[in-house]
Copies of this chain bind each other. A is one copy, B any other.
Amino acid sequence: MSAWYYERGPESDVVISSRVRLARNLKDYPFPHRMSRQQEAEVVGIVRDSILNNSKSGMEFTFINMNEISPLDRQAMVEKHLISPEMTESGSFRGLLLSSDEKVSIMINEEDHLRIQCLYPGLNLAEAWQLCNSMDDLLEQKVEYAFDERYGYLTCCPTNAGTGIRASVMLHLPALIMTGYIKNVLEVCAKIGIAVRGLYGEHSEATGNMFQLSNQVTMGQSEQDIVESITGIATQVIEQERMLRKELYRQNPIKIEDTIYRSLGVFSNARIISSEESLKLLSDIRLGVEMGIIKDITIEKLNEIMLKIQPANLQKVCNRQLTPEERDVQRAELIRKLLTT
């Protein structure tokens, strides 16, 4: 099993991951927030069986009843970007189909009946889309989707109707931030209908200089066009970020190295460290690795650390509930352990 965050993908010096998700609903059921418990159970059952009893996927899936796992386990999955925060809410019958490599997660009874998500390391929306598409085809052989000839796939929120696709890339943009040029990127994105969000989606800040670019419109364009358009924009942003990194380094190499190594020094020596400070320092260290300044740490190691030091995953590693104060101590300990293994 090799989860997305243990692998290095294309353009990994700037791109953390690529994600494609499709929103789908079953024709014969009301949207999730209007379903009865009985209907919820039926939808979960239908989707689960369509995948679990389907050898054509070529992948191994596990079914998880979201109500049967602890809030901590749910939160840990959010932190790994395997499910959306909505999936952690109790009250409804929600299910998850997760592939063994954690690249495919099919959320059942999220905002829509189905959210098919594929997550790849680096810039790889094309492959993520291809896999999403084949999972979608597989499901469509077993279930009937709510589909309208004029509007396309129908979704709970009209902004998702049409193709039902959201293609997003997570970018690490420290040089754009340092130089202030991120403002221009944000302006351009706003003009051409690209949403920019932080590390943890819709309402999150750009923690650790991480930015998620995704399409806002899902109608009037083919999935292929949307994927290509986001890839195109991302490629331009990547080039700008790379150019600025080179320029910053050319102007004052020691200054950049100083910033990077000071952060590494604090990160690898602190005994108490918050999640927020960790992500800030990780950004500097990642920049150092991405620029080839730090040579004995890999991007994969940084991804592993980034995920494992999040509150829920940290508690899972420690195998017990931790107060926020305890977390800050355990986080520092885990960082030192992970950096030396």
Contacts and interface: CB of A to CB of B under 8 A. Distances in A.
- A contacts with B: majority SS: helix
Category for how many chain A residues contact B: 10 to 19
Interface in A244-274: 254-255, 257-258, 261-262, 264-272
Nearest to A267: B265
Contacts of A126: none
A266 B262 contact: yes
Contact of A270 (B258, B269, B272, B332): B258
Contacts of A265: 262, 264-270
Contacts of A258: 270-272, 332
For this chain, the copies found in one complex come to 2
A270 B266 contact: no
Contact of A329 (B254, B269, B270): B254
A272 B262 CA distance: 9
Nearest to A256: B271
Contacts of A269: 261-262, 264-265
Contacts of A261: 269-271
Contact of A254 (B262, B268, B272): B272
27 contacts: A254-B271, A254-B272, A254-B329, A255-B271, A255-B272, A257-B271, A258-B270, A258-B271, A258-B272, A258-B332, A261-B269, A261-B270, A261-B271, A262-B265, A262-B266, A262-B269, A262-B270, A262-B271, A264-B265, A264-B269, A265-B265, A265-B266, A265-B267, A265-B268, A265-B269, A265-B270, A266-B266
What are the nearest 6 A-B pairs in CB distance? A265-B269, A265-B265, A258-B271, A261-B269, A258-B272, A257-B271
